Homo-oligomer: A and B are copies of this chain.
Amino acid sequence: MKMMPNDLMTIRQMCDAFDVTPRTLRFYEAKELLFPQRDGTRRLFTRRDRARLTLILRGKRFGFSLEDIRQILDLYDRDGSNHAQTIRTYELAQQRLAQMEAQRAELDLAIADLKAELDAGEAMIATLRRAAE
């Protein structure tokens, strides 16, 4: 067991902690979502990186694209106490929420339609079964 200075984690430790692949972490770094320090060539992820990764993964669950997430993260980075930016993020989230609810409405419709088709199909299958006797 090698000890990392308290709040620094290797790529593997990050992968285990967050259940992601190394490729993903490097990808996020390339996309400027994370900014790990270096020990020579090796990445060392800070507490800040972990906080950001937590937000990234949460954002993904909400269906935000990585680009959306990057922008939101950057807003807070530039000025964590700026009201306008907090409000902007809030608005983005609201928009996304509206999208998600629209999406659910469509999905509900499709489900209802498909169920109707299935009922018809079931009836047809029953008919076929009777005819087969």
Docked complex Cα distance between A63 and B110 (Å): 8
Interface range for A: 20 to 34
A13 at the interface (CB under 8 A from B): no
* Residue ID in chain B nearest A82 by CB atoms: B128
A113 at the interface (CB under 8 A from B): yes
Please determine whether A107 and B107 come into contact, CB atoms closer than 8 angstroms: yes
Please determine whether B107 and A121 come into contact, CB atoms closer than 8 angstroms: no
Docked complex Cα distance between A129 and B83 (Å): 8
Please determine whether A61 and B110 come into contact, CB atoms closer than 8 angstroms: yes
Q: Residues on A close to B: CB < 8 A?
A: 58, 61-63, 83, 86-87, 89-90, 93-94, 96-97, 100-101, 103-104, 107-108, 110-111, 113-115, 117-118, 121-122, 124-125, 128-129, 132
